Amino acid sequence: MKGREVPSSDMLLARIVVIPKPGKDPAVCPSYRPISLINVDMKIYAKILANRLGRYIAEIVHPDQVGFVPGREAPDNIRRALNLIQVATTSGRSSFLLSLDAEKAFDRVDWNYLWAALTSFGIQGDLLKAIQALYAGPRAQVDTGGFLSAPFSILNGTRQGCPLSPLLFALSIEPLAACIREHPDVRGMEVGGKQYKLSLFADDVLLSLTSPITTLPNLLKALKDYGRVSGYKLNADKSEVLDLTLAEEERAVMRDRFPFRWCHPSMGSLGTQLTPTWGQLYKANYGVLLPTLHAMLAAWSQLHLSLFGRIYAIKMTLLPKLLYLFRTLSIPICRADLTFLQSAIHSFIWGGRRGRLPKSLMFQSKRRGGMGVPHLYSYYKAAQFAMLSMINLRSGAPLWTNLEQDMGGPQPLRTLQWTQKATPRTLHNSPTLQHSLRLWNLCREGDGLSPPGSGLQPLFYNPRFPEGNPPGAFGWWIRADITEVRDLILQGRPVTLGYLRESRALPPSETFRAVQLLYFVRSILRETPDRRLTLYETYCRQKHRGRGLISSLYTLILETTFPQDASYITRWEDDLGSSLEGNEWADIIDRTSRVTICTAVRENCYKVMARWYIHPQRLAKMYPGTPSTCFRGCDEEGTYRHAWWDCGMVSTIWTEVFGDLSRALGTPLSPNPWVALLNRPHPEARLTRGEHSLVSRVCAAVRICLARTWKGPLPRAS
């Protein structure tokens, strides 16, 4: 490609599949979303270019744009919008939100314009040529219902489906964003002397504006000018307005002059509903989603799903919908609503009957031998605290942190999370921050995220150190970046004056303040000696936004809320008369989930291990008066072990099975309950992994047969 060679036209031939948009008329073309399936070799090539471009794109594209830029996410823009709604309510200026709808934004980008835009951003030479090679006479065929159209040439647009395309689109729309940002007569909402005008997610543009009579004509002109060079076309009558605090006459003028669609009572944006006031958010979002989820559960409960199948359905379909709102909306949640949904999930999983396993085991992660059913409130907290941790980022922090800082006042946001229970009144201006911190202070200790004595505690703006609140006289310390308690701790002890003089060049004029600070640090160390950073605190110290933070936090919170339930472990050890080390149980749990990929077999493995099956003795306890003797009619006490191992016919079957296995594998295998029931490797024979896997599968098959005849005599045939 360097030598200006272009890929052959066959390589660039794409197949366009059309996906119907929900709720639109299927008889017209615009109701379909075209996705280009491109050749795998070209896709790899495009992905390589996308990775290279991705490294720099965050420096080129303003943080207003969060779509497809690594390290930025849609919830960032929503959190900003929530704060701006509050700004509109308190500032008294006539404000509104405008969501622009572009006609086929990706498909219309003019290539000459695109190359000019890339060049102006400094993407030149080989990289530009490499990107252009993808656009050297590409052709496509449309695939409808298995029929292919004749190939045709593509002359503009970035392809939906190509890994490079979203980045190119983000670059192509950036000049428009810059123009709006700098336009003096497109007026945005103002906080702390800064204007917050727009936020973008790819082609999804949300504007937060004031003074509509001046702003709108200028905005439309800018869009038109941009459209003339780039191919962008505004769908004015599909663009939506949400009236926040418009005056009566402004509203009338706007309705008269512009064809926008007026939203009432809420406006959809990036999968959430924005409302004119903060107080309406919960109802507009959760008020709609929760009933849908309940209806979904009700419909699913009519289906014949296995236990694991029901859990998968919850995890893969229900949870993501809820989690998206947890992540995007930093607003309080109604605990009763969540508990109601949680109990509906419980009832769905157990088919409307009483749960067979303890609750702690249900929510426990699979790694710890649980069923891994999502615990909703823990997910909510994990999502909220993952978002809150962003205020600690020193570089690449999302824009809402700047906004909340401007709304909140002089105290650096970062310090707020680590001072104990001190939320200054000024923060009431930012409802999201106020909510996040309130929830944080409520849970930080109980959930083991950050008990008192954190080394991240600030030295300044800390109510516990009044001399530095505000830090007026401590300028030297702030410049030297000594701002947290742990900056003055070395190997678990406060640093000495000598150390500060030698290593940090402490000037003599600061000696008194050093003594003050060290006294404060010493008092904290005395209260909480040996306090190390918790896992959450180390996450917050990371320079960049971490991936998978919510699930790590969820596990942390869950394991504190529900300590590991080891009841089935003790019962097995009592039954089988020997005890294992902790890591041996971890091994059993791990093997149980890996015997096969077949869900039905895995489910049996898990149920046997977790003692899901109800044996006669347990039944007699549940319903006094029922006999506790063996179901199979042998008159012995029906314990769990008896039912699975000791009962006459059952024990004969196991002996035969182990005999057959010995012959097949050519090594003697004596019947062993740990192997037969809990998938342990056979203690006497040295089997290869494949052989062991065979033993486990055969034993699982036997257990499934036993489970099918659980409540009666065994069939005669063996």
Q: Which residues here bind Zn ion, judged by CB under 5 A?
A: 630, 632, 634, 647
Q: b/e for 459-480, b at 16 or more Cβ within 10 A?
A: bbbbebbebbbebeebeebeee
C-beta separation of 173 from 39 below 8 A: no
Calpha distance 620→680 (Å, rounded):
31
Nearer to Zn ion, 533 or 634 (CB): 634
Report the SS3 class of residue 685. coil
Query: What are the beta bridge partners of residue 95?
Result: 210
Query: What are the beta bridge partners of residue 243?
Result: 96
Q: Which DSSP letter does residue 315 get? A: I
Give least dist CB 637 to Zn ion, A.
9
Give the Å distances, CA to CA, from 103 to 109, 202, 203, 239, 487. 11, 13, 10, 10, 54
Count other C-beta atoms under 10 Å from residue 250's C-beta. 17
- CA-based angle 447:449:451, to the nearest 5? 90
Give least dist CB 582 to Zn ion, A.
33
Nearer to Zn ion, 317 or 652 (CB): 652
Nearer to Zn ion, 592 or 639 (CB): 639
C-beta separation of 190 from 209 below 8 A: no
Q: Is the peptide bond before 713 cis (omega within 30 degrees of 0)?
A: no
Q: b/e for 628-640, b at 16 or more Cβ within 10 A?
A: ebbbbeeeeebbb
Count other C-beta atoms under 10 Å from residue 231's C-beta. 22
Nearer to Zn ion, 130 or 630 (CB): 630
Calpha distance 449→555 (Å, rounded):
11
Query: What are the beta bridge partners of residue 592?
Result: none
Q: What does the DSSP assignment read for 201-230? A: ETTEEEEEEE-HHHHHHHHHHHHHHHHHHH
Nearer to Zn ion, 329 or 650 (CB): 650
Nearer to Zn ion, 463 or 633 (CB): 633
Nearer to Zn ion, 34 or 616 (CB): 616
Q: Is the peptide bond before 463 cis (omega within 30 degrees of 0)?
A: no
Calpha distance 357→611 (Å, rounded):
8
Q: At 704, which amino acid appears?
A: I
C-beta separation of 595 from 700 below 8 A: yes
Give least dist CB 635 to Zn ion, A.
8
Give least dist CB 699 to Zn ion, A.
19
Q: In whole angstroms, what separates CA 505 from the centre of its chain? A: 44
Give least dist CB 626 to Zn ion, A.
16
Q: At 94, which amino acid appears?
A: S
Nearer to Zn ion, 84 or 647 (CB): 647
Q: What does the DSSP assignment read for 276-300? A: SSGGGHHHHHHHHHHHHHHHHHHHH
Q: Who contacts 154 (Cβ-Cβ below 8 Å, separation ≥6)?
A: 138, 139, 140
Nearer to Zn ion, 620 or 634 (CB): 634
Give least dist CB 604 to Zn ion, A.
20
Nearer to Zn ion, 432 or 639 (CB): 639
Nearer to Zn ion, 327 or 632 (CB): 632
Calpha distance 568→562 (Å, rounded):
15
Nearer to Zn ion, 517 or 647 (CB): 647
Nearer to Zn ion, 391 or 630 (CB): 630
Nearer to Zn ion, 274 or 630 (CB): 630
Give least dist CB 709 to Zn ion, A.
12
Nearer to Zn ion, 72 or 632 (CB): 632
Report the SS3 class of residue 484. strand
Query: What are the beta bridge partners of residue 16?
Result: 36, 142
C-beta separation of 519 from 468 below 8 A: no
Calpha distance 220→254 (Å, rounded):
13
Calpha distance 121→170 (Å, rounded):
12
Give least dist CB 682 to Zn ion, A.
25
Q: Which of 337, 242, 358, 247 is nearest to 288 (CA)?
A: 337
Give least dist CB 601 to Zn ion, A.
25
Calpha distance 682→673 (Å, rounded):
10
**Beta strands per DSSP E along 489-538:** 489-490, 493-494
Helical ranges in 121-187 per DSSP H: 125-133, 165-182
Give least dist CB 649 to Zn ion, A.
8
Give least dist CB 712 to Zn ion, A.
11
Nearer to Zn ion, 7 or 648 (CB): 648
Calpha distance 626→611 (Å, rounded):
20
Give least dist CB 646 to Zn ion, A.
7
Burial class (CB in 10 A: 0-12, 13-18, 19+), 364: buried
Give least dist CB 650 to Zn ion, A.
7
Calpha distance 554→452 (Å, rounded):
21
C-beta separation of 140 from 36 below 8 A: yes
Give least dist CB 705 to Zn ion, A.
16
Nearer to Zn ion, 468 or 638 (CB): 638
Q: Who contacts 606 (Cβ-Cβ below 8 Å, separation ≥6)?
A: 308, 371, 592, 593, 612
Nearer to Zn ion, 163 or 616 (CB): 616
